């Protein structure tokens, strides 16, 4: 949520106003949060190796998989890529 707000109100071409950014954060705050287990850390390390991801990106992808997310919004991964059952989309790419 921090990354979204910083980028959405300050770094992209079509910026949100701070008020709009806060409204989005309030909506995001209702989403489920995943707390990884030690086994998830090992699985993320393996996922990082298999897909040539940073460990941190792999942990995010793994968490999305565990939450059964169909889409993972990330500016750091490849838009349109599918890892396991998760489709990666860039929220800052024009649709």
Does a structural domain hold residue 27?
yes
Taking Cα atoms as reference points, which of 67, 82, 76, 68 lies closest to residue 36? 67
Q: Is residue 13 in some structural domain?
A: yes
Look at residue 3 and tell me if it is in a domain: yes
Element (H, E) at 49: helix 38-51
pLDDT at 95: 54
Give the helix/strand (H/E) hosting 46: helix 38-51
Is residue 5 domain-resident?
yes
In tens, the pLDDT along 32-91 reads: 888 999 999 999 999 999 999 999 999 999 999 999 999 999 988 999 999 999 999 998
| pLDDT at res. 78 | 93
The answer to whether residue 15 is domain-embedded is yes
Structural domains of the chain, count: 1
Answer whether 73's CB lies under 8 Å from 91's CB: yes
Residue 26 lies in a domain: yes
Domain contains 42:
no
On whether residue 10 sits in a domain, the answer given is yes
The whole domain housing 2 covers 1-31
Higher pLDDT pick, 74 / 95: 74
């Amino acid at each position: 949520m921090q990354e979204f707000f910083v980028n959405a109100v300050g770094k992209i071409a079509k910026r949100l106003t701070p008020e709009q950014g806060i409204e989005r954060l309030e909506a995001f705050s209702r989403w489920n949060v995943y707390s990884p287990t030690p086994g998830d850390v090992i699985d993320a390390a393996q996922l990082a190796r298999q897909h040539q991801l940073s460990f941190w990106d792999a942990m995010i992808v793994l968490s999305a998989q565990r939450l059964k997310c169909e889409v993972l919004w990330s500016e750091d991964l490849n838009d349109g890529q599918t890892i396991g059952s998760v489709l990666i989309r860039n929220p800052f790419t024009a649709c």
